[in-house]
């Protein structure tokens, strides 16, 4: 895709999952891919995969919840690779517990990684984008940032936050008439370690999404400068359902199995 040619794309949480898949696709499209993660082993593996495929990749260990580490690592990226043109905020964590079952540390970690980290990364790279009047900020949110569900109180809170972050930032950039694009991505549950064990009651309506397809659609949405990508289409009905009484809205969510999807959640085992 021509959009990525000769650009620098930074992906947080790039060592695994859709971060890794997006990295491969974007690198193959001619972008120098920069990957941040705290998983050193998988970071090295992904960098080797991309390099052996004949593409460019650089990796840095960075905990995006650590504001000072984000700023320091961003400086290293700028010095070693150059200006970041496309920023993909993809890193995320899931507790998967009922609210009172989450420790204070889990709650804080969820907000720091899934939400506050977006502040630090965008503050680190947006000034260069403004100076060159070119850039793209991608927010990987979630369908859980459109409708809340049981056992995802902290996760949904963080994803509602970044959905709003994207919307407000988009308005602000438009107001300043800057040539900087934004894309927010809200997928339903994705197959893989992060949401291992989740179930869908009606898979033809709310399928557990294939990570390869999610990565492909996300990369295509970025290339087309699409402002919002929701998967699957049924999630769009949420905005209409909110016009109904709350009890009816909750009944529909339970009927669709949304509030029981996490019953057998195992998550990423460490």
Catalytic site residues?
155
- What residue spans of the chain are helical by DSSP H? 17-28, 40-52, 67-80, 104-111, 117-132, 153-175, 211-223, 238-241, 246-255
Both tokens of 240, joined, read 């209409």
For residue 14, what are the CA distances in angstroms to 42, 44, 53? 9, 11, 17
Q: What residues contact 123, with CB distance under 8 A and at least 6 apart? A: 71
| Spatial strand order in the sheet of 86-89 | 57-61, 32-37, 8-12, 86-89, 135-140, 180-187, 228-231
Both tokens of 76, joined, read 């290293």
């Amino acid at each position: 895709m021509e959009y990525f040619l000769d650009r620098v794309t930074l992906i947080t949480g790039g060592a695994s999952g859709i971060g890794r898949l997006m990295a491969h696709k974007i690198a193959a499209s001619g972008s120098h891919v920069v990957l941040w993660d705290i998983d050193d082993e998988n970071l090295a593996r992904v960098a080797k995969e991309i390099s052996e495929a004949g593409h460019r990749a650089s990796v840095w260990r960075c905990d995006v919840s650590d504001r000072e580490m984000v700023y320091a690592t961003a400086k290293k990226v700028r010095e070693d690779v150059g200006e970041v043109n496309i920023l993909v905020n993809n890193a995320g964590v899931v507790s998967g517990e009922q609210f009172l079952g989450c420790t204070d540390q889990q709650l804080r970690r969820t907000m720091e990684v899934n939400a506050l980290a977006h502040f630090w990364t965008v503050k680190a790279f947006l000034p260069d984008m403004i100076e060159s009047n070119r850039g793209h900020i991608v927010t990987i949110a979630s369908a859980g940032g459109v409708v809340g569900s049981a056992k995802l109180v902290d996760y949904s809170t963080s994803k509602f936050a970044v959905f709003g972050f994207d919307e407000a930032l988009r308005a602000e950039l438009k107001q300043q008439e800057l040539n900087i694009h934004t894309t927010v991505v809200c997928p339903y549950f994705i197959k893989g370690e992060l949401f291992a064990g989740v179930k869908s009651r009606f898979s033809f309506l709310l399928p557990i999404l294939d990570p390869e397809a999610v990565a492909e659609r996300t990369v295509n949405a970025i290339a087309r400068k699409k402002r919002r990508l929701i998967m699957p289409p049924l999630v769009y009905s949420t905005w209409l359902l909110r016009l109904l009484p709350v009890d009816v809205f909750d009944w529909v969510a339970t009927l669709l199995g949304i509030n029981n999807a996490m019953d057998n959640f195992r998550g990423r085992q460490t």
